[in-house]
Amino acid sequence: MGNRILLVGSGGREHALAWKLLQSPLCDHLVAAPGNPGIEALGRGKGPGAGKVSLAAVGSEAVADLVALAERERIDFVVCGPEAALAKGLGDVFAKQGIAFFGPSQAAAEIEGSKKFAKDLMKRAGVPSAAYGSFSEFVAAEAFIDSQPGDVVVKADGLCAGKGVVVANSHDEAKAAARAMLLDRSFGDAGARVVIEERLTGRECSMMALCDGERFVLLATAEDHKAVFDDDRGPNTGGMGAYSPSPLVDGALTKRIARTIFAPTVAAMAAIGRPFRGLLYGGLMLTPDRGPMVIEWNCRFGDPETQAVLPRLEDDLLPWLLHTAQGNLPAHSPTWSLGIAVCVVLAAAGYPGKVRSGDVINGLGEDGQLAGEGTDLVVFHAGTKRDGERLLTSGGRVLGVTARGADLDSARSRAYGGIARIQWNGMHFRKDIGLRGRT
């Protein structure tokens, strides 16, 4: 079981998953729907994916077409990357078809699909998180903001591809954000309700866990960089880079996070009849006075954290995903390589606003990689498309250049050295990814 895999999605996270899954001797073939040129290229050449990859022009939310594709391709195991497909109930449909699926049910995916649901769940379970209120009327939201002693964060309740959060520096800024979401519908129906919560201070880190409905196994830590510009300036994005592991999370803190955050959340989901089976991602704030607190829950692998974490995984990924889907996670933890992995996102002109597509990407070979580099430097494709022999930009986050090194400086040097060989009109990226790891 698990020999023929359907991977749903088309971004950098899915490229990283495909890259790792194809290293498994248990993987006979991988179909990516819709995939991207980087994933397709894994099937060419002499690597472990040679001759084992095909793409299908099926969207990640086209549920009926995905089921038909799985039947046609005799798929044994489905791995879903994007949250929108999970929120639409893709996992429930495949469960009815009797096809093994990695990812939560629609009911369990609401932990990301509704911030209000997640906050209410944590409040009942005693999981440390910021004080909050939820509102669908602007007047009530405005009054709540005025009543807060400090700055707040305004979040659209629904899915916004990582962009529906405004970390306000004043009450006026918070009110403007709430007005934009509730009255101007800047995020459409996803912002028809907002969650407003106290603004926590500290350092953020990401912790992901494989959960089989009852048990969970923590993966390696990472730190994401959300703001578009250096020094965490500018609007939030889906993520401009990440590095793993976080130097702030030692063994003792890992145990505390498991005990106070993941364990009660997994138990609470099971208790309300929504057992979580898949990848549970916790965006955490390491506060100086209250310890680790949850900023957000996601129901899938983080992006770009996955591109920094999976290159450090020494185990075969496929059995771990299968055990998760089957509800029988082993008691031991995965094995991680020493050193650091750094992923730097290269973005298209205009990102995170109105994005320009169609610019020609120069510097990569036919395999979508940098010539002469080994496995310690991988270019993960996120928003690319082929036009004959040309590789073009086709999204906001275009590439993720991931490098491994014995230490932070060597990993950063290798990543940015690779980036210097890539170019397209309007390409921009942060130059400080991972620097906070020195503190």
Can you state the percent helix, strand and coil of the chain, rounding each to 5? 30, 30, 40
- Cβ pair 366, 275 in contact under 8 A: no
Domains of the chain listed by start with CATH number: 4-103 (3.40.50.20), 131-198 (3.30.1490.20), 203-326 (3.30.470.20), 340-438 (3.90.600.10)
Distance CA 133, CA 28 (A): 49
- Compute the average pLDDT of residues 348-368: 96
What residues contact 420, with CB distance under 8 A and at least 6 apart?
none
Segment 171-182 mean pLDDT: 94
Q: Residue 375: CB partners within 8 Å, gap ≥ 6? A: none
Split at pLDDT 50, 70, 90, the class of 235 is confident
Residue 294 backbone zone (phi > 0: left; psi -120 to 50: alpha; other: beta): beta
pLDDT in the model for residue 367 = 93
Residues 6+ apart with CB under 8 A from 372: none
Question: Which whole number is the average pLDDT over 249-264?
Answer: 97
User: Across-strand partners of 102?
Assistant: 79
The residues near 246 (Cβ < 8 Å, ≥ 6 apart) are 205, 206, 221, 222, 223, 437
For residue 285, give every residue at least 6 positions away whose Cβ sits within 8 Å of its Cβ, in sequence order, or none. Answer: 200, 201, 202, 203, 204, 292, 293, 294, 295
> Does the pLDDT value for residue 288 go beyond 90?
yes
Angle value at C-alpha 361, between 357 and 363, nearest 5 degrees? 165
pLDDT at 419 over 70: yes
Q: What is the pLDDT of residues 139-175, one digit of tens each?
A: 999 999 999 999 999 999 998 876 788 899 999 999 9
Task: Categorize the per-residue pLDDT at 282 as very low, low, confident or very high, splitting at 50, 70 and 90.
Answer: very high
Q: What are phi and psi of 39, to 5 degrees?
A: -65, -45
Confidence of residue 2 (pLDDT cuts 50, 70, 90): low
Is pLDDT at 357 greater than 70 in this prediction? yes
